[in-house]
Structure 1
């Protein structure tokens, strides 16, 4: 990180600096997002970090990154960007907590796998809470009935990726014994997304570009509610580019079932020079 920062510091003849942010692209199947994001955010020393975990269309077999023409696995790519355009990082979700709670009473933390919730088999306890047969749980179920953890007064989603043959559940994020999970219910995904983009547009005086990282479960939820085309219309209207993820990074946190990104506003002056990137 220090080397990347020196690269940017040495690239401006006027000695000044523009607006900086970092992008993280991480192999999700390495199960290392929390470790990587925590270390990178610390080294950035206040430069905001945003990013996403690579997926493979819900196959959960092989995710890859490409860096300088090379295919990389179990890796992360960090980009440090400086621009003269105004920027704002953001995080948006469309769920709210219910009163139903679960305590993780048994887990294999190195595998991100929960074997028991409330001292009962994990998949069975979750299925009972959402009114489904454990045999019928699917990615659509997990998208419609997310679990969340409360940190610092705010709820953050902890998405289930799949049910294992033994009835345990594997998550997209770190999970451990003693964690209290709250069953969440969805809000209107279209209106939540519209409100976030409208707010960014207003605060930046117009949007030039939005680099977004959108959880794949948000897409599944939008498809099940037959509103995916409306989300796509919003992304086109506000210039959103990016990809669907198996997890999102926001500052020093690894999140699930969110839409995160960096919004880039219009040039502050006619002489604005654009952006510089170090990787």
Structure 2
């Protein structure tokens, strides 16, 4: 479940016993391994998936690596008893501009493992009394001990691990497919399975990925609302709701929908109606592969 309040608007308990700082160090040390175990269970084509405008799995990993520089800087502030800590907004901005989707998840995980190991080594070099040093956190507006800040950082780790898990469990929608693979997406609607297979093979040759299929007009409308693909291949004659009515329903839902009609000879009047309703093109059955490829490319 997503957090009900923003991270920095949460209430934090800073009553952790100073003498337990070693347990907090171990908790911080273990985050890279916990994250890598989690990433191993996620299909590689899901790592760039995002929920709306929130960070993708890769960006959550990259953020943990980037934020470590700020964490180390704040250790310096505690050691010199600074009156303020460095504002987190600078690092958050750098994370958003870093373009983590261009890097492999393994690379991001390795970077985080390296910087976190250096941080843990730094913490292990401190004297027990150092963990009682205090400084002001500008975002939270409270003074905290170093051990409190370490707990805060560990909670931050867990927050992003939870986001990674949440994103990995989201259904693979067409919008995710487009972000993950860079390919266009398509919904193929025909009551005959072999026709759907043929169309799917042609779409694959022109770089379009079939993200869903429908055997009836009613299913076509529901699947479009679920997937919002780049292209719909619609048989004009479908059981239940006709292909023409499905086109009208889809266009009513999304006027920008790109629908390509597949029709047989003698169905010209229905095709003309579908074009007036908003379809972008048509192809006649039995179609050749070149005919279908050309029609798809024109529709997109």
Shorter-normalised TM-score: what interval? under 0.3
Greater strand fraction, Structure 1 or Structure 2: 1
Greater helix fraction, Structure 1 or Structure 2: 2
TM-score of the superposition, structure 2-length normalised? 0.21
TM-score of the superposition, structure 1-length normalised? 0.22
Look at both structures and tell me which one has the larger radius of gyration over its CA atoms. Answer: 2
